Amino acid sequence: MTTKHTPNHFESLSAWLRAITRGPLERLASGLVKLKISPNALTVTGFLLTIVAALLAAQGAYFRSGIVFILGSLFDALDGSVARVGGKSSSFGALLDSTLDRYGEGVLLSGLGYSLSQQENWLALILVFTTLIGSFMVSYVRARSEGLGIDNKVGLLTRVERIVILFVMLLSGKIVVGLGILAVLTQFTVCQRLWYAYRVSIRKP
């Protein structure tokens, strides 16, 4: 049995963003359901747009990359709403969404890494790798915790916050600053989730 998760203040931004976007997304989702567009099609479309964003980032076209990236993120956000509104939620759909989320994040950061390597900006390149490892570990610790019966969604930098930082960073061109924030706070979030799992585990009978 999964241990019930108690929300905390670290999740406030994610909860707030989901609350303010839920209504508009569900209205859009209702229209897409009428057009018989499947959630998985939206998931794949969002991923393909993220690949385009990564290619633009690799060329140093950061602003255009940011625009395409947020468009891809919109498709990614809509897939869950379409699944709920259309009654098409499935275990495979959830798995596909999570899998392509990880691929998308990796591809975009790889595109940035290529661009920075061409500029011989080695500090920023190290930050890219640190962010990539941290982002994957944030998701891994949650998934592994759930396998152990712990609902572990705590932490300062969930996927929602990472998307916001990536978007602002690309649009503003403040790549090194954005990567620095991501590199530090993803690792911090891993530690938060490990600490939460530890506290839950020692309370279990």
What percent of the chain has pLDDT above 70? 89
**Cβ-contact 62, 170 below 8 angstroms:** yes
33-53: per-residue pLDDT in tens? Answer: 777 888 889 999 999 999 999
pLDDT band of 205, cuts 50, 70, 90: low
Instruction: Give residue 140's pLDDT.
Output: 95
Answer for the pair 49, 163: CB distance below 8 angstroms, yes or no. no
Q: Which domains does the chain have, with CATH numbers?
A: 10-203 (1.20.120.1760)
CA distance 186 to 192: 10
Query: What pLDDT sits at residue 4?
Result: 52
Q: What is the pLDDT of residues 111-129, one digit of tens each?
A: 999 999 999 999 999 999 9
What pLDDT was estimated at residue 149? 92
Q: What is the pLDDT of residue 58?
A: 97
135-167 residue pLDDT tens? 999 999 999 999 999 999 898 898 889 999 999
The model's pLDDT over 56-91, given as tens digits with 9 standing for 90+, comes to 999 999 999 999 999 999 888 888 888 787 777 788
Output the pLDDT for position 24: 75
CA dihedral 35, 36, 41, 46 (to 10 degrees): 30
At residue 81, the pLDDT reads: 81
pTM for this one? 0.85
In the predicted structure, residue 191 carries a pLDDT above the cut 60: yes
CB-based contacts of 12: which residues, under 8 Å, 6+ apart?
none
Look at residues 129, 27, 22, 39 and name the one whose alpha carbon lies nearest to residue 82.
Answer: 39
Sign of CA dihedral 7, 13, 150, 197: negative
pLDDT at 8 over 60: no
Mean pLDDT of 87-116: 92
| Higher pLDDT, residue 205 or 127 | 127
SS (H, E, C) 114-169: HHHHHCCCHHHHHHHHHHHHHHHHHHHHHHHHHHCCECCCCCCCCHHHHHHHHHHH
How high is the pLDDT of residue 13? 63
Give me 202's structure tokens: 């020692």
